[in-house]
Amino acid sequence: MKIGLFGFPLTGKTTLFNTLTGAHAAVAGFGHGKPETHLGVAHVPDERLDRLAALLKVKKAVHATVEYVDQAGVEKGEGQKSEAFLVDLKLADALAHVVRAFEDANVPHSEGSIDARRDVETMEIELILADHTVATRRAERLELSLRKAPRDEDRKELDLIHRCVEALERETPLRAVHFSEEEARRLRGFTFLTAKPLLVVLNVGEGDAAALDSAPARAGLEDLARKPGIAVCAASAKIESEIAQLDPADARAFMDEMGLRQPALERIIHSSYDLLGLLSFFTFNEQECRAWAIHTGTSAHHAAGTVHTDIERGFIRAEVVNWKDLLDEGSMAHAREHGRLKLEGKDYVVQDGDVIHFRFNV
């Protein structure tokens, strides 16, 4: 899973990126020269995996990962004219707009004042303009091609692109437009930014760190999460950066003092999983216990392909037990004896928290 972080300059975006990935990217400021795009990987925290690894006495627990792309701060008006704006974000599975909600007299906002609702709406327009540029260019090429040699496929694509252009000109993001499966497949190659799921991350000040759940409502964003393809969460990048530098015991004590239930990484990852419709299942062998991320509704056959293509190709069956049941029973053998381990075929729909041993023959 790849998530593109973006936002106006000086929103705390790179501070959050560093906290999520453990990177040390230079934080944007005054006199830092040309801004850069940063790449980093975060390990998805999952207490279930850690407990399973301890039970099974394997050498290591391998967490699922999320790749983050930290896009340089976007100035107002850049979406329509900057190709780099597209290049850095178009390959992401989802976008995360980091929105400033903290006051700091030493760090001026590029728009002059702190207004999260305005910034979300302004940035949405930037994405819409970027997509409109791509769509209109494609429409022009298709119209030229049709004049030279009329083809049914080109006509279908042009009709679809015209629908996109019309929606974008109404300032409607493509994630809010219903497309059939075939239409969505046709559009996938364009990597339209407004078609991607959007996570709005509200970066609040230290004083609001203990009230993150209510922060979106206080910022006037309570209705955003009800829109299709959008999720909203809050974090305090400055506080999270300080927590990340502490050892686990001190970090827990500091979080308790600040009234934080979980680190930003967990909140943002869980929001991203929900937004993308992801779940985790687990596999293990003598060496490791590993978490895998798949889309909700994935069959056991296709989940096997996530582990290895040979397992999918030679799939015979899946031995499945819920992670809690495995912990209760203490071993796969006991889970089998007490009827908690099930034998499932190719069409079994994998559930969140399943521990699976795939039987296959290649």
Tokens representing residue 330 in the block: 């203490």
186 & 200 share domain: no
Question: Helix crossing, 237-244 with 248-258: angle to 10°?
Answer: 150
| Average of per-residue pLDDT values in the chain | 88
41-53 confidence digits (pLDDT tens): 988 889 999 999 9
Which pLDDT belongs to residue 83? 59
Nearest 5°: phi and psi at 66?
-130, 130
For residue 248, what pLDDT band results from cuts at 50, 70 and 90?
Answer: confident
Residues 180, 215 within the same domain: no
CATH code of residue 130? 1.10.150.300
76 with 150, same domain? no
CATH number at residue 98: 3.40.50.300
Q: Of 179, 194, 209, which marks where a domain is finished?
A: 194
Q: How many Cβ atoms are within 10 Å of 209's Cβ, its own excluded?
A: 21
Region 47-74: mean pLDDT is: 91
The answer to whether residues 226 and 176 touch, using CB atoms and an 8 Å cutoff, is no
**351: Cα separation from own chain's centroid:** 20
Full domain range(s) for residue 14: 2-46+61-110+196-275
| In a domain? residue 280 | no
Same domain, 168 and 208: no
Query: Is 101 found in the same domain as 129?
Result: no
Q: Does residue 175 lie in a domain region? A: yes
H/E stretch holding 6: strand 2-6
Are 216 and 246 spatial neighbours (Cβ–Cβ below 8 Å)? no
| Same-domain pairing of 128 and 158 | yes
Do 213 and 95 fall within a single domain? yes
Question: Contact at 8 Å (CB) between 177 and 74?
Answer: no
CA separation, residue 194 to residues 61, 230, 268, 337 (Å): 36, 11, 20, 51
* DSSP 3-state percent helix, strand, coil across the chain (nearest 5): 45, 20, 35
Examine the domain organization and report whether 19 and 93 are in the same domain.
Answer: yes
Which residues is 200 bridged to in the sheet?
97, 232
H/E stretch holding 317 reads strand 315-322
User: Which amino acid type is present at position 104?
Assistant: D
Question: Between these two residues, 34 and 92, which has the higher pLDDT value?
Answer: 92
- Give, as one character, the DSSP assignment of residue 28: P
Q: Classify residue 215: in a domain, yes or no.
A: yes
Same domain, 134 and 104: no
Q: Residue 282 falls within a domain, yes or no? A: no
pLDDT of residue 84: 60
pLDDT in tens, 202-215: 998 877 777 788 88
Q: Look at residues 275, 309, 334 and tell me which one is the last residue of a structural domain.
A: 275
Q: How confident is the model at residue 260 (pLDDT cuts 50, 70, 90)?
A: confident
Q: Which of 26-40, 48-62, 120-134, 160-174 has the lowest mean pLDDT?
A: 26-40
Domain co-membership, 304 together with 353: yes
pLDDT in tens, 296-330: 999 999 999 999 999 999 999 999 999 999 999 99
Per-residue burial over 148-170, b = 16 or more CB atoms within 10 Å of its CB, e = otherwise:
eeeeeebeebbebbebbbebbee
Asked whether 100 and 12 are in contact (CB, 8 A), the reply is yes
Of 194, 229, 244, at which residue does a domain stop? 194
Let me know whether 26 and 68 are in one domain.
yes
Residue 267 lies in a domain: yes
Alpha helices in 149-286 (DSSP H): 152-169, 181-188, 215-218, 237-244, 248-258, 264-276
> What is the pLDDT confidence band of residue 77, given thresholds at 50, 70 and 90?
low
Q: Which residue type does 289 have?
A: C
C-beta separation of 92 from 66 below 8 A = no
pLDDT in the model for residue 82: 55
Q: Is residue 225 part of a domain?
A: yes
Phi then psi for residue 238, to 5 deg, are -65, -45
User: Do residues 169 and 203 both lie within one domain?
Assistant: no
Whether 72 contacts 8, CB under 8 Å: no
38: tokens are: 């940063």
Mean pLDDT (whole number) for 31-38? 60
What CATH code is carried by the domain that includes residue 306?
A: 3.10.20.30
Report if pTM > 0.75: yes
Q: Could you give the number of structural domains in the chain?
A: 3
pLDDT above 90 (res 169) = yes
Q: Report how far Cα 204 is from the mean position of its chain's Cα atoms.
A: 20
Contact 351, 279 (CB under 8 A): yes
